[in-house]
Structure 1
Amino acid sequence: MMGMSDIVIIGGGLNGLPLALALAQGGFDVTVADARPAPDRAAVGFDGRAYSLAAASRNLLGAVGVWSRVEDRAQPIRRIRTAGGRAGLGASPFSLTFDGAEIEGGPMGTMLEDRFLYAALLDAVHAEPRIRLISGDRAVAQSEGRVTLASGTELEARLIVGCDGRGSGMAQRAGVHRTGWDYGQMALVAAVEHERPHEGVAHQLFLPSGPLAILPLPGNRSSIVWSEKTEIAQAVQALPDAEYLAALQPRFGDFLGRLTLVGRRYSYPLSLSLADSFVAPRLALVGDAAHGVHPLAGQGLNLGLRDVAALAEVVIHARRRGEDIGAPGVLARYQDWRRPETRALALGMDAMNRLFSNENPILRLGRDLGLGAVNAVPGLRRGFIRQAAGLSGRLPALLRGERP
């Protein structure tokens, strides 16, 4: 069976679905094929998974008609406090505080649970007549402009987009190689309930073994992303809840009072992975299919949504000019827009992780003094805040909250 669309997207996750919406609203007929059965993920209860959405990502979700569906379930991040620290000793007195009130456009970031964001995207996709969603069917073969699914269904389009994650089969089958390295770290991800209110403040603590992010959720709950050396992380993940908390509490500190685990606990290995090319003949790669970065600052999803906004704008403008949307010259515009910025940010986070994740007292002192110096200079601090909010650099229209 053959299905013809303007654009086929392989992967119906948090990059594939907003891209489908943006392209359909731009006048394209879009088919999305996702290997997972859709309703299961949308129907789960609280499981602890949440995302830090930069202000620019919030703008994009507003532009494609999704933000109004989730706004009342979100937790604004009003301030971000970054500091060095050591387990049992708390945060360093030298810290850097980003206050969202210093920039225009509301909070610099917003925490939103995976289940709410995914369900809202799914509802919006189902309501869009230009989008055909195929669930529970994975891509197994491809050629230029054509994809075969496991069911035998063949999909054809002028442009195929791989939104199929870090182990992207679309990239592999197209011969796209990746450059990167393993960090020897794992991320432990969970949600905790705490006695005291977080007041919308996110904390990024740089411990010698890896960063610990404490990110506010609605109510007296926070999401934690705890990066730790692999051997230690595996041992901690295997502990019962009470012992897991006993290992977390001295790293977390007692500023929010006693902690209780809520939802599920997750773990995944940390690595840097950057596709050597974001494009191939009639193929564009988006999100984790193009780049996997350290979870420092929670930029993974935000980077993917920047890809979404740039690709949608390039393709919509190309069609207005009467161009073939899958032509090499069109796809080169997308790559030239996104790959240099992504590479710079990925390497910047890599360098920061290496600088902070060590016991070297000279590096620790230099780091702490650097944080204190940036904090003392308002103009420099505002620049960092705009970067964290995703509002710096050449912004596609969707990241400004506008249609391309």
Structure 2
Amino acid sequence: MDNPAGRAIVRPMFDADVIIAGGALTGASLALALAQGGARVVVVDRLPADAQASPDFDGRSYALALASQRLLEALGVWGAVAEKAQPILHVKTGDGRPGEGVLGGLLHLDHGEIDEGPMGFMLEDRHLRPALMAALADAPGVTVLAGEEIVAQAVAPGHVAVTLGSGRVLKAALLAGADGRGSPTARRAGIARRDSDYGQTALTCAVAHERPHGGVAHQFFMPSGPLAILPLPGDRSSIVWSERRNQAKELAKASDEAFLAALRPVFGDFLGEIRLEGVRFAYPLTLTVAERIVAERLALVGDAAQGIHPIAGQGLNQGLRDVATLAQVVTEARRRGEDCGSALVLERHRAWRSFDRTALTLATDGFNRLFSNDNPLLRAARDLGVSAVAALPDLRRRFIREAAGLTGDLPRLLQGKAL
């Protein structure tokens, strides 16, 4: 029988304290955090090591909240990417239409209204991913099994066992699923998901422009979906253009010249002439939420727990909040001599993440549905609401702190403190 009370028990030596399914950004961060707390970790990732570390693996950039930057600093990763990150000093949002610019409801968030510093940082995947992979390779107590895949998992008294595609069987106190939106780990555990298709595709790319961006992140709410223009180092910006599925399909197939011709009237001319830099990518947008983030000897983190709309740039930040919470709960349990995979320990993680996870998922879903239309009544109501926030300093500062990830009961890593 398992140990539901979470009391210290005598266990045989397993292959690891925690096995992590998935070695991308969230899985790698979790492994580093657990290792910092003294745990033995095995990371199983289906991609070969050179694919994960490749500088052209993914064209996306991430809006890292200040709290997420603090986590990376506490894990010893930030020093390797700091010079390649762009501070986010201002956030400007408003309603818009292609070719007409901002029409109303402008909200300006200025980092100078809080004491902690920039609200966050923009960082390209091609810099963050290799830095995490390098840190993982050097982390004591971490074993990475690249090019391997978990094909089966089973709970037994006191542990969980996973079977790899090679036939090898590994045992640990806890299995963490960091294997993305489709999460085979969650599926094998019988965890159902609630899925919703937005009928939108995110077109992402980087552009160079004539005028400096000033560290300003722009979010324009267009009838067909939001357009984010996010500052990168130099006179460059990352574009996340959410467009209706059929239109996005045509734009994804278009030549660079045709794509730019379609982007320019949406983008506007406030940064001068623009030109493409690097490769374009397209990602269908869906909401997918696991009905439970814990099960017997299992915890889900990142997109395996919840995959949200990129409207507020919070996907990776939400995953890193999962990481910080689970790592702290597991580390503290191990230091008390508890079974870190027990139901009682995992319930602490679930309870800590419950409100924040639900609130952000509902907020991003609601914002996209509210703003991705051109209904004049809705436009007037939401512009009135945005204007009210803009006019009230205390509420505006609350929004700034939310954007920076500084609200709520923060785990130690999100405060920049070691476990």
Please give the TM-score of this superposition, normalised by the length of structure 2.
0.94
- Partner of 2:214 in structure 1? 199
1:237-295 CA-partner distances (Å, limit 9, x unpaired): 11111111111111111101111111111111111111010011111000000001011
Q: Distance in 1 between matches of 2:57 and 2:133?
A: 18
1:73-121 CA-partner distances (Å, limit 9, x unpaired): 1111110101110111111243101111111221101011112111111
Q: Distance in 2 between matches of 1:259 and 1:389?
A: 29
Q: Distance in 2 between matches of 1:273 and 1:337?
A: 20
> Are 2:28 and 1:17 aligned?
yes
Q: Distance in 2 between matches of 1:259 and 1:118?
A: 27
Among candidates 110, 115, 121, match of residue 99 of structure 1: 110
1:284-336 CA-partner distances (Å, limit 9, x unpaired): 00000000101111100000000000001111111122211011111111111
SS class of match (1:158): strand
Residues 130-209 of structure 1 aligned to structure 2 (within 5 Å): 130-144=141-155, 145-209=160-224
Q: Distance in 2 between matches of 1:304 and 1:46?
A: 20
SS class of match (2:264): helix
Q: Which moved more, 1:389-398 or 1:368-377?
A: 368-377
Q: Distance in 2 between matches of 1:40 and 1:358?
A: 39
- Partner of 2:283 in structure 1? 268
Q: Distance in 1 between matches of 2:24 and 2:90?
A: 29
Q: Per the alignment, do residues 47 and 143 of structure 1 end up closer, same or farther by CA in structure 2, a change over 3 Å counting?
A: closer
- Partner of 1:350 in structure 2? 365
- Partner of 2:4 in structure 1? none
> Are 2:70 and 1:55 aligned?
no
- Partner of 1:335 in structure 2? 350
> Are 2:408 and 1:393 aligned?
yes
Q: Per the alignment, do residues 314 and 46 of structure 1 end up closer, same or farther by CA in structure 2, a change over 3 Å counting?
A: closer
> Are 2:43 and 1:28 aligned?
no
Q: Distance in 1 between matches of 2:70 and 2:219?
A: 24
- Partner of 1:325 in structure 2? 340
- Partner of 1:118 in structure 2? 129
- Partner of 1:278 in structure 2? 293
Q: Distance in 2 between matches of 1:205 and 1:127?
A: 42
> In 1, are the aligned partners of 2:51 and 2:57 still within 8 Å (CA)?
no
Q: Distance in 1 between matches of 2:288 and 2:104?
A: 34
> Are 2:49 and 1:38 aligned?
yes
> In 1, are the aligned partners of 2:52 and 2:133 still within 8 Å (CA)?
no
Q: Distance in 2 between matches of 1:12 and 1:62?
A: 19
Q: Distance in 1 between matches of 2:331 and 2:102?
A: 48
Q: Distance in 2 between matches of 1:255 and 1:36?
A: 41
- Partner of 2:10 in structure 1? none
- Partner of 2:92 in structure 1? 81
Which letter does structure 2 place at the counterpart of 1:301? L
Offset of 1:44 from its aligned partner? Answer: 2.2
> In 2, are the aligned partners of 1:147 and 1:155 still within 8 Å (CA)?
yes
1:26-52 CA-partner distances (Å, limit 9, x unpaired): 011111111111223323259642111
Following superposition, which runs of at least 4 residues in structure 1 exceed 4 angstroms of deviation?
none
> In 1, are the aligned partners of 2:67 and 2:404 still within 8 Å (CA)?
yes
- Partner of 2:305 in structure 1? 290
SS class of match (1:6): strand
> Are 2:391 and 1:380 aligned?
no
Which letter does structure 2 place at the counterpart of 1:189? T
Which letter does structure 2 place at the counterpart of 1:81? K
Which letter does structure 1 place at the counterpart of 2:305? A
- Partner of 2:80 in structure 1? 69
1:215-258 CA-partner distances (Å, limit 9, x unpaired): 01111111111111111111111111111111111111110111
> In 2, are the aligned partners of 1:196 and 1:220 still within 8 Å (CA)?
yes
> In 2, are the aligned partners of 1:278 and 1:339 still within 8 Å (CA)?
no
> In 2, are the aligned partners of 1:41 and 1:115 still within 8 Å (CA)?
no
> In 1, are the aligned partners of 2:203 and 2:282 still within 8 Å (CA)?
yes
Q: Distance in 1 between matches of 2:181 and 2:135?
A: 25
CA RMSD of aligned residues (A): 1.3
SS class of match (1:119): helix
Which letter does structure 1 place at the counterpart of 2:22? G
> In 1, are the aligned partners of 2:55 and 2:127 still within 8 Å (CA)?
no
Offset of 1:129 from its aligned partner? Answer: 2.1
Among candidates 12, 16, 23, match of residue 5 of structure 1: 16
- Partner of 2:260 in structure 1? 245
Percent identity of paired positions between Structure 1 and Structure 2: 57
> In 1, are the aligned partners of 2:55 and 2:130 still within 8 Å (CA)?
no
Offset of 1:369 from its aligned partner? Answer: 1.9
Counting matched residue pairs gives: 403
Please give the TM-score of this superposition, normalised by the length of structure 1.
0.97
For structure 1, list consecutive stretches of 5 or more residues without a partner in the other structure: none
